[in-house]
Amino acid sequence: MGKTTGFLEYERKEGSVRTEEERVKDFKEFHSALPLNEQKKQAARCMDCGIPFCQAGVMISNMMSGCPLHNLVPEVNDLVYAGRLAEAYRRLCITHSFPEFTSRVCPALCEAACTCGLHDKPVCTKENERTVIEYAYENGLVKEETPKVRTGKKVAVIGSGPAGLAAAQLLNSRGHEVTVYERKDRVGGLLRYGIPNMKLDKSLIDRRVKLMEEAGIKFEVNADVGRSVQASTLLQENDAVILSCGASNPRDINAPGRDAKGIRFAVDFLSEVTKRLLDSDFKKVPYELAKDKDVIVIGGGDTGNDCVGSCIRLGAKSVTQLEMMPKPATDRLPSNPWPEWPRILKVDYGQEEAIWKFGQDPRVYKTTVKEFIKDKKGNLKEVVLVSLEAKKDEKTGRMNMVPVEGSEKKIPAQLVLIAAGFLGSEKYVTEAFGVELDGRTNVRTEAGRYRTSVKKVYAAGDVHIGQSLVVRAISEGRKVAAAVDEDLMGYTNLSK
């Protein structure tokens, strides 16, 4: 805990944010940290609550409550309050692989379950974490462990997203020889190409990967396992193979006119934006992807919001974000009690920027696309929207969102970005290894385990649990590392 009476003495205060007018001019991060003396006050707000729900990491009503990594949040906060940042870093990295990522992109499950947040604003755990990890980097404390003795065991990790990186980190520290295979041209998976630079600066990934390489981890890029790299070769050459290649099979929108030019999957669009920025060292902004276009974003999650923010930076004429579900309540409903994840209305950075530029929230609820309309050249020119309402399916008893007859409306659109989520693993990868899948096309394992139906093959991250959060992927990576290590060595001392 922090100061005994800190939560009574200090109001929650977050680091400054560049104004919308300023930040939409570039793709740089726009959150700044508080001065250390102010951050110590925020850590002081951590109360002696008795049961730290913030670190529970349990599923409640099919939603994660508290940190999946089980970070010992009160201990870290207390050390920040005391100004003992080196000790805070050592405490944090026992359970956490990459605080520099989650302290920027995590929705802060720990804060949603903070006891202080039951009647007041929660403790700024996420910003405390960022202060700790950046202090550690600035003072040379962050080091990847180079093992003095190697075990002679070889492990292949397929995918360099957060799950794959976390697994590689721990297995290498144990002394196994680890090679990470990434199908893209740069390491990072969705950290690199699925999250815009203004949300997660890509130099932070490079900074960590450099340390991992120096510790002995090998990275193979442009290595598409199941296509350019044979699964059979990896199985023959390694003692274990970990599938951590994500749930990158996007959900499509099947409506008339879907073949129109100008309809893209959101992650493909975000990937292209980031790649072109990186390839030019941020000297060339690909304005032509969205400039002066009416943009429709289908999907209301984080990826949809990232599309909104990216399109505004690329000079879009207008941006409309469609959400199939009703508008959430502004406060918790009785059916959504603390410490469940709060299903309430949030305004993220992309929506803030749209409100600033266009004068209104870009989100339109209970609405989807009924038809895409092309011009004579096959280019998208308009979409037909239709309102939705909840109706009970008499056969299943489930409530479904169905079109409202006569509610169609036509609006201009030259670019549509589909951010409707993912359907699970990509078929060519799972077929290459011959692993069994569950009903959602995620790789099947025993409950709470990481071994697949194929000997020596393990699964972790989104390919295992479905589309989720970076922090859950890191947790999965740490757990699969312990499982692999135990099978290879007969026991494990890796921290999960």
Measured between its terminal Cα atoms, the distance across the chain in Å is 23
Q: pLDDT tens digits for 72-131?
A: 999 999 999 999 999 999 999 999 999 999 999 999 999 999 999 999 999 999 999 999
Mean pLDDT of 258-265: 98
Mean pLDDT of 277-295: 98
Mean pLDDT of 385-389: 97
**For position 396, what pLDDT does the model report?**
83
**How many C-alpha atoms does 162 have within 13 Å on its Cβ side?**
28
**For position 230, what pLDDT does the model report?**
97
Q: pLDDT tens digits for 141-198?
A: 999 999 999 999 999 999 999 999 999 999 999 999 999 999 999 999 999 999 999 9
List CB contacts of 372: < 8 A, sequence separation 6 or more.
255, 256, 257, 258, 260, 263, 380, 382, 383, 384, 416
**For position 2, what pLDDT does the model report?**
77
| Dist. CA 391–CA 383, nearest whole Å | 24
Mean pLDDT of 295-313: 97
List CB contacts of 207: < 8 A, sequence separation 6 or more.
100, 137
**For position 165, what pLDDT does the model report?**
98
> Would you place residue 48 in the very low, low, confident or very high pLDDT band (cuts 50, 70, 90)?
confident
**For position 3, what pLDDT does the model report?**
86
**How many C-alpha atoms does 83 have within 13 Å on its Cβ side?**
4
Q: Are 373 and 380 in contact (CB under 8 A)?
A: yes
> Would you place residue 41 in the very low, low, confident or very high pLDDT band (cuts 50, 70, 90)?
very high
What length is written for the chain?
Answer: 496
- Mean of pLDDT over the chain: 96
Residue 447 pLDDT > 90, yes or no? no
**For position 23, what pLDDT does the model report?**
98
Q: What does residue 372 show for φ and ψ, rounded to 5 degrees?
A: -100, 130
**For position 321, what pLDDT does the model report?**
98
**For position 84, what pLDDT does the model report?**
98
| Dist. CA 245–CA 225, nearest whole Å | 10
**For position 107, what pLDDT does the model report?**
96
CA neighbor of 319 nearest in space, from 350, 285, 274, 276: 350
Mean pLDDT of 286-314: 97
Residue with tokens 């890509």: 202
- Complete domains list, the chain, with CATH: 6-138 (1.10.1060.10), 154-248+423-489 (3.50.50.60), 263-418 (3.50.50.60)
Q: Are 308 and 354 in contact (CB under 8 A)?
A: yes
